[in-house]
Amino acid sequence: MYKLFLLVGCLIVTGRATAFKADYLVLSWTAQSGLVAEYHAVVDLPIDFKNKASAVPSDNVQLLASDGILIDEVSLKNQLITRAEYHGHEQLDGQLLLNEEIVFVVRAPRGMVKQLSLPISVDKNQTRFDFSNLVRNARYKAVLPTQPAAGNPDNRVNLLVMGDGYTANQENDFNADVDSIIAYMQTFEPYQSYSEFISFDRQFTASNQPGADKPAACFGNDAVTVDTAFDASYCIASIRRLLTVNSSKIYTAAAASPDWNEIIVIVNDTEYGGSGGSFSTFSTHASANDIFIHEYGHSFTDLADEYDSAYPGFPACSDINGPSCEANVTDETNRNNIKWSHLIEPSTPVPTPETSQYNTVIGLFEGARYQELGRYRPKNFCNMRSLSYDFCAVCQAAYVFKLYQVPYAQGSPLSLLEPGTASPADTTPTTMVAVPMTFSVDTLQPSHHLDVSWWVNGVQQTSNSDGQISQSFVFQPNQVGQQNIKIKVQDHSPMVHSSRQAELPEFEFQWQLNVVPFNDLIFADDFEQLP
């Protein structure tokens, strides 16, 4: 997925993006085989990379132009490991496994990328590969997607739900399971308040047999082998509950819905299990839904685990010396310097004791990110520490900021002003003096109100907190000339502390109105004169 970062400020919404022909390339890397192009398709995507910078050593996959200028980067943070994280006592039972094979996707406008370099963590020499050769030598090729997914790809987080172990006559079961996970997800904040910001796209793929493999190493005499589309199997690394699918096959099939931002895979088997990493995989066992909720906190919001089970060798972080820790973990103990200090009450001690007295407050609780000592979490119990718990205020705010930071299908960050809904559609309309004109645009609405203001020639006319989807303003010009009409919208989310709400982006749309002299059409052309 593309990891571009938004500079906080005013974002001008200009309308719908143009679709570009893009290369959709599935790549795999192992120490033995090196980099291999597994699959290539040409797809239509509304993406357009215009910002370029000089390439520097990086821990991301880098896409380079012919002159070596950086076009974009693709993060492999979640592809490097597989997470085995399940319900446990007080904190979740978790293990992390380093992947021997790394599978990822590159999506880029055709003809723009000339070279690809791997991150330092994979290839310390950052060898540059000829991109056209990778495309040309892909093991499998396709020209057109075969099954477009349902859902609106514009201006939303495109969450693609796929399934494995569903036979051709079980599509209704798949849809029911998708409906169930959507409903469960929306019982958690912040997903409930921002439910309209996600497009749940679903893509059904039939398997020859139902269920998933259950190897004898974990299941003994109950072992089974089934023929499924994506090779779903439990007992990976001899962990009974570790359920995975073939990443290369999933990414290849997902080319039919190429504008996905996140992928989740539901496996049609009632045995409890799942995994995280590149995407979340989980079974139809009722409790396995919690695996998805937790893993989505990793893959989308980039939250750290808050449990303290040791994982030797996991990359270190530090808010003191760098590189910075994730939003919900810190090594900083100076109260004034803690990044969530604005949420800590003066009466809460720092560090904060793990006692029932402080279970409901934000503080500084020791034990997080696979370390018992020296790493701290904001709350004693949070979903990133214990499955089925609510997300703490720090994690909720991180999600809100992430919504406005990641590019979506429009090729630019998600906008509170819905593209293509402005009226007049012409941004340079004409009217006459004293003739009122109505301006309107739809907003992408969370469950709370947005701050909406209308401006004329840089002077604010109205300001209100509005929960309506359609915003409108009537302007009656009193003089000839150019008039600038503008709407500004900002999300002062209650999930973001008032001291940080100004960091959330402000979105605007504007018209340049041409006002001409009044012309009474009724009396034009001597209509008022009797014969």
Residue range 482-511: average pLDDT?
A: 96
Whether residues 46 and 143 fall in one domain: yes
Per-residue pLDDT band for 152 (boundaries 50, 70, 90) equals very low
Query: Percent of the chain scored above 70 by pLDDT?
Result: 89
Domains: count for the chain: 3
Task: Pick left, alpha or beta for residue 146 (phi over 0 → left; psi -120 to 50 → alpha; otherwise beta).
Answer: alpha
Establish if 349 belongs to a structural domain: yes
Is 70 exceeded by the pLDDT of residue 3? no
Classify 59 as helix, strand or coil. coil
* Model confidence, pTM: 0.91
pLDDT at position 93 over 70: yes
- SS3 (DSSP) at 127: coil
Instruction: Examine the domain organization and report whether 148 and 291 are in the same domain.
Output: yes
Nearest to 418 by CA among 428, 410, 430, 426: 410
Chosen domain end from 255, 275, 299: 299
Residue with tokens 């609780």: 365
* Sign of torsion over alpha carbons 316, 322, 325, 329: positive
- At residue 172, the pLDDT reads 98
Domain shared by 39 and 132, yes or no: yes
Do 124 and 97 belong to one domain? yes
For residue 147, the model assigns a pLDDT of 46
- Confidence class of residue 58 from pLDDT cuts 50, 70 and 90? confident
Instruction: Give the model's pLDDT for residue 28.
Output: 97
Note whether 195 and 242 are same-domain residues: yes
Q: By C-alpha distance, which of 50, 42, 51, 52 is closest to 20? A: 42
SS3 content of the chain, % helix, strand, coil (to 5): 15, 35, 50
Check residue 370 and give its pLDDT.
Answer: 96
For residue 4, name the pLDDT band (cuts at 50, 70, 90).
very low
Does pLDDT of 55 surpass 90? no
State mean pLDDT over 428-438. Answer: 96
**181 and 292 in contact (C-beta within 8 Å)?**
yes
Q: How confident is the model at residue 66, as a pLDDT?
A: 85
Q: Is there a contact between 201 and 160 (Cβ–Cβ < 8 Å)?
A: yes
What is the domain extent for residue 351?
A: 305-385
What's the pLDDT at 432?
Answer: 96
User: How much is the average pLDDT of 491-498?
Assistant: 96
How many other β-carbons are positioned within 10 Å of the β-carbon of residue 101? 14
Question: Edge to edge, what strands does the sheet with 262-267 contain?
Answer: 198-203, 157-164, 262-267, 280-283, 274-275
pLDDT at 5: 28
Residue 397 lies in a domain: no
Of 323, 356, 385, the residue at which a domain comes to its end is 385
Q: Bridge partners of 202?
A: 161
**Does one domain contain both 352 and 447?**
no
Looking at residue 144, its pLDDT comes to 52
327: tokens are: 């939003």
Average pLDDT over residues 359-370: 97
Most distant CA pair in the chain, distance:
105
For residue 24, pLDDT beyond 50: yes
Which sign, positive or negative, has the C-alpha torsion 330, 334, 338, 342? positive
238-244: average pLDDT: 97
pLDDT at residue 490 is higher than 70: yes
SS (H, E, C) 359-381: CCCCCCEEEECCEEEEEEECCCC
pLDDT of residue 71: 87
**What's the length of the chain?**
531
> Is residue 445 in a domain?
yes
pLDDT category at 148 given cuts 50, 70, 90 is: very low
pLDDT band for position 59 (cuts 50, 70, 90): confident
Q: Mean pLDDT, the chain, as a whole number?
A: 90
**167 and 229 co-located in one domain:** yes
- How does DSSP classify residue 58? -
C-alpha distance from residue 101 to each of 12, 81, 248, 249, 287 (Å): 41, 10, 10, 13, 29
pLDDT tens figures, 101-146: 999 999 998 889 999 999 888 887 778 899 999 999 999 998 654 4
CA angle 366, 80, 140 (to 5 degrees): 155
Query: Partners of 35 in the beta sheet?
Result: 29
Both 62 and 164 in one domain: the answer is yes
Sign of CA pseudo-dihedral 429, 430, 432, 433: positive
Residue 322 lies in a domain: yes
Residues 139 and 240 in one domain: yes
Q: Are residues 233 and 332 in the same domain?
A: no
Would the pLDDT of 459 be above 80?
A: yes
Q: Can you read off the two tokens belonging to residue 426?
A: 């012409």
Q: Which of these three, 241, 268, 299, is where a domain ends?
A: 299
- Look at residue 78 and tell me if it is in a domain: yes
Flag whether 40 is in a domain: yes
The reply to whether 353 and 453 lie within a common domain is no
- Written as six digits, the tokens of 316 are 């270190």
Please report the DSSP string for 234-259 in residue order: S-GGG-TTB-B--HHHHHHHGGGSTT
Per-residue pLDDT at 323 exceeds 60? yes
User: Is the residue at 438 inside a domain?
Assistant: yes
Q: Which pLDDT value is given to residue 18?
A: 61
For the chain, the first-to-last Cα distance in angstroms comes to 74
**Residues in Cβ contact with 415 at an 8 Å cutoff, skipping those fewer than 6 apart:** 11, 13, 155, 444, 507
Q: Give the range among 182-186, 242-246, 463-467 with minimum mean pLDDT.
A: 463-467
Whether residue 317 sits in one domain with residue 193: no
Domain CATH for 59:
3.40.390.10
Domain-located, residue 398: no
CATH of the domain at 463: 2.60.40.730
Residues 362 and 377: beta-carbon distance below 8 Å: no
